[in-house]
A and B are shown apart, each in its own frame.
Chain A
Amino acid sequence: MSFFLYRPHVTGPSNNITTPDIIIDRVAIHTGNTTQWVPTNQLSSQVEIQLTNEPFESTPGYVLVAAGGGVLFSIGAVVNTRGNSLGSSQMLVSRSAWRFVNLSKHLTTLELTTYTGPAASPEVCGKQALCELQEPADIMEQISGNREALPRGTMVFCCADQLRYATKSKESLAVYIKDGTLQRDLTHRIQMLSTEEDRWLNRPLPRYTVGPVGDVKHYI
C-alpha cells in the first residue's frame, strides 16, 4: 500500500492555478524502448537530495501524471548509481506542472534543457527536443490503451537519455523546459548534497531542555 502524495501546482493556459493532492501508487520509468515499474517509495519532490561519493547518473525527462482534470505534464530526473537497476533509482519530480491537453498540439516545439552550476550563472549541460523522445501519447497508450489518459494513481518518467549526466555530489542539476507558444516555463533545480559533507564543522550532540524546573503552572 505504498504511495506518494504528489502535491502539484498546476498552471493552466490562462495562468490559473489548481493544487490537487494526488496519491501516486504506480510509477514507471520509460527509458530506451522499455517501460519498467519501479517502487513509489523512491519518489520525491524534494529539491535537495543526498548522494554518496559513488558515480551517479542523472537522467532528466518529462513526467506524466494521471489526474482527474486531465493528465499532468511536468519535469524531473531519475538519479541512479551507474550500472544499478532502475528499481533503485531516486525519482525526482517537480511540483510545478501543466496540463498535457494544453501542450499536445505544440509538444514538438518544446525542448528540454539541463543546467548545472549556480542558479545565477548556470552552465548548459545539454538540450534535447521533446520530439526526439517517446511521444507522451504512445507512452499513455502503452500503459492504458488510451492516448490521452493514464490510469488513476499512475506517474511515468520519460527519460531524455541523450541528456544523461554524470552527476557529482555537491552539484546542482536544473531541468528546464520552455513553452514558447504559451509563454511559460518550468524549472526543477535539484541540489545534490554529499553524504560525506557535514554542514556543521563540529556537529554538536543533541540538546535537551527540561522546561520549567520550579513550581510553575502550565498554561498549555
Chain B
Amino acid sequence: MNGPYIDPNPPRPVVDRLRERFPEAGLHVEEFRGEITVTLPAERLVEAAQFLRDDPETAFDMPIACVAVHWLEGEFEHDVMWQIYSLGKNHRLRLKLRLRPGETAPSLTSVWSGMNWTEREQYDLVGVRFNGHPDLRRIIMPEDYPDHPLRKDFDVEGGPAALDGDGRPVSPGFRDMEHA
C-alpha cells in the first residue's frame, strides 16, 4: 500500500455468514475505506460475537479495542464499537451497538478476555455500563472521580459544562481561548 493500509478485500463473506446465521436480526452494514461496520441488536450481540470467534470461516480470535462515542442529540446516546481481528484470515471487523439513554451494553469479555480493560476504560471515560463485566471499575480516573470526561457535556477545563436552554454545552471547552 502506498500510504495508509486500506483493505483491498473487505471481509464481505463474513457479513454474509452473519446474515445467514442471524436472518431476523436486521443487521445494518456500513463500508468505508475498506472497513466494515456491522450494527447488531443488543440481545444478539454476545451470541454473534461467539459465532464470529468460533466459526472457522470468520475466526475472529483477537480483540483489538472497545470504543464508545457519546452523542448529545438524536435518538441514541452512545455508540459502542468493538474492533476485532482474525490472525488466521487477516481481516478486521467492527461490531457496533447503538444505545438509547439508560440502556446498557452487554460485555464481550466472556468471548474475548482481552476486552476487559478496554471496556473498563470506556465505562470510566465515556460512561457506558457493561452488563456481565467481571470487574467494572474505573481504570484511568481515580476511583472516587464523579464524572465521565469523554462525554460531550463535559468541559475540557475540568468539570461538567454549563448547558444552555437546549441542553447543549455553552462552550465545547477551551473557555480561556474563547473569552480572551
Partners in one complex: no
Using CB atoms and an 8 Å cutoff, list the residues of chain A in contact with chain B.
none
Using CB atoms and an 8 Å cutoff, list the residues of chain B in contact with chain A.
none
